[in-house]
Amino acid sequence: MSGNLRVLVIGGVACGPKAAARLMRLMPEAEVTMIEKGEMVSYGACGLPYYVEGMFSNINALTHTPAGVSRTPEFFRSWKGFQTLTRTEALAINRNDKQVRVRHLESGQEEDLPYDKLVLATGGRPFKPPIPGLDLKNVWFMTHPDDAASLVAEIELQGLKKAVLVGAGFIGLEVAEALINRGLDVTMVEMANQIMPGILDEDIARFAQIHMEDNDVELVLGETVTALEGGDQVDTVVTDKQKIAADFVVIGVGTRPNDDLARAAGLQCNRGIVINEYCQTSDPDIYAGGDCVPNAYIHRQVGDPLYVPLGSTANKHGRVIANHIAGRPTPFSGITCSSVVRVFDYTLGRTGLTERMLRALGVDYEVTTWTGQDIPHYMTGSRLFAIKMLASRRDRKLLGVQVAGMGNGAKRLDVAASVIYFGGTLDQLADIDFGYAPPFGPPIDPLAVCAHVLTNKLDGLAAGMPPLRAKRMMDTQDCLLLDVRIPDETKMEWIPHTDMLHIPLSELRDRVAELPRDRDILTYCKVSMRGYEAQRILNAAGIDRVWFIEGGVAAWPFETAMPGL
């Protein structure tokens, strides 16, 4: 390409700065200009809830490099070699003349900026539900550093105590923890009947919901906010079922792609700006990346593009765009929907597809839930967590993994994402050479153990029943609940049912005659390893209507019974 290639980048948060900086490393002679409507550039928006929590005191730290240098226009000029124009709004794209009409917001002056290649990194905008009262004071959307800074300032200035969070997605969960840790009262309202409805299946979500309630978050699920009320300042959140008092409200009901500029320019859009594998739009000289675009799923099982706005994806897009402009094409393969969030001392996350998605796609799948320790039980710091795993019945390929609990689920998610990316099977996952030492994991990694359980189900050895299905059976059918734990364990906590029997696993072979052969039997223990062994013992004795409750007491997402309760 010519030495004076002009590249104009619209958007200065994640994808835009990445594309511009990478391009200058590949083509130092290029003339790259990045424009940003706001005053701040290249900030870590995902860190906003942690500022609210008080984990760092300077909001500008979100713009700092690891060396502590602030990413300002001067930084990008002197360190990265490209020009940055803040407080500059892109008004329209003239594709015929290859110009972008911009307005300098400080002066109001307008001008046309020429380009040879144009990069649209216009990001997303928070979805504003069509309800009255959004313009009241003390209503926040958590998308920009100014939002977090003003929220913290007003909490301290006004002495705000009671928060209502609308939406139980990433932002809602992170802000809930932040506010609880600041000593505030928090109520979370979600129109779905679970938290993280677009990310997790109901069983894993229920497991996490119990933990949130244990940490004093009041969950209001299955209710739709219809209005915010107050004088000039919000004091009430109205749902379709009740009214909730509030000192302030944080709205976090999702993000929508900011594709207005692209649509006005006649670029193809569908739930965002449509791009190819090199992030080119329907105009080959215009690229797009980040939260303004949808993404294809990695293996193309999902026909429609998925809108999963994440900073990690935006940075990948920036690199792909720069490489292609510089003549070093490296395609972006798609996403595996990997996402993770910390909720108090729980890790919640998912990679791949959920049960809901697989059912919608008509995929024949099998599923299991495993619970156990992230490192050996004898090690200090050993923590319990749950893994939900889904695989294809047809070819045993791993399709999805979800994690929840105090244990290190993020490490397992990353491995699972790699297996899904490369189209691996359960058998291949179980054969991975995980790094082993007691401080880091058990001899057989939990992810491999979960894969073993699922292969046992596919092979007809394990008759595991997911907790939600087990609860339905207990509520609607005549079944016997068999607890195979040792006596001391049964005194701590158990799964309640109208017809229960306790036989320790060590005695089961000698007491098989006590069990009916004409009823359904559900076995369980703490994590259901012994529940599985009980199922095999009873099967060997000719009792066929036996299932073990996957995850045992540890993963039971409903109320359990305890002595004195």
Residues with active-site annotation:
46
Alpha carbon distance 27, 48 (integer Å) = 34
Q: Assess contact for 250 and 225: CB atoms under 8 A.
A: no
Alpha carbon distance 500, 553 (integer Å) = 14
Measured CA distances, 26 to 23, 132, 319, 322, 401 (Å): 5, 50, 11, 8, 37
- Burial class of residue 398, CB neighbours in 10 A (0-12, 13-18, 19+): buried
Q: Residue 28 is which amino acid?
A: P
Q: What is the DSSP string of 164-195?
A: EEE--SHHHHHHHHHHHHTT-EEEEEESSSSS
- φ/ψ of 203, rounded to 5, equals -65, -45
**Left, alpha or beta for 337 (phi > 0: left; psi -120 to 50: alpha)?**
left
Alpha carbon distance 283, 436 (integer Å) = 50
Measured CA distances, 163 to 26, 136, 305 (Å): 48, 15, 35
Task: Report CA Rg, the chain.
Answer: 27
- Burial class of residue 289, CB neighbours in 10 A (0-12, 13-18, 19+): buried
Q: Assess contact for 230 and 244: CB atoms under 8 A.
A: no
Measured CA distances, 535 to 118, 130, 482 (Å): 62, 52, 10
